[in-house]
Amino acid sequence: MRWITRRNIHVDRTSCPWLIRKFIDPQAEFIFVEASSDPATLNGHTFDMRGAEYGHEGERCTFQVMLERHNLTDDAALVEMGRIIRDADVPPSRTRRPEAGGLDALIRGFQLSVPDDHEKLLLTRTVYDALYAYCQAKVAEPRPRQGAPRPRLRYTRRVATHLEEDDEDK
């Protein structure tokens, strides 16, 4: 199936193709059009563009809308990933997740350095694979009992895990 979105892809328009290929349509073909294109005249599923089949709804980004419409909200890691993607995709708010700024910076870097949108999809695929793995680990850990939520993978734990892996390799 053809999936169509605006050119010069950013966070939502790089994360949605990852989600589509991984969980919705493994044979998806992606087409990039001018922002002024009328979705009603395009042959395929449209996303993250004005008047598209899939777009922002309320405070949810397109990635989160796709999760809901394709019944993927039972996967807690995908739901958490959607929150991070939303926070990276929309203007910052007081409750922006700490991971969102890093994701935004990485994708902006791809946007500035890689002119071809198909190449951006290839290059960002591993970013979203890694973010999904991070979210799986994050939601697998028990929540703190009190206080503000903190990132689940603390620096000291990451270092200890890394050192243990190095010892196993020797």
Give pLDDT, residue 33. 94
Quote the DSSP letter at residue 24.
Answer: I
Q: How far apart are CA 29 and CA 82, in angstroms?
A: 22
For the chain, 170 residues long, the average pLDDT of each consecutive 10-residue run is: 94 97 97 92 93 93 97 97 93 78 94 96 97 96 66 68 69
Nearest to 18 by CA among 139, 140, 136, 123: 123
CA dihedral angle for residue 43, residue 57, residue 101, residue 74, rounded to 10 degrees: -90
Give pLDDT, residue 155. 66
Q: How far apart are CA 134 and CA 140, in angstroms?
A: 10
DSSP element (H, E) containing 30: strand 29-33
Is pTM, for the whole model, over 0.85?
no
φ, ψ dihedrals at 77, nearest 5°: -70, -40
Measured from the Cβ of residue 20, the count of other Cβ atoms closer than 10 Å reads 21
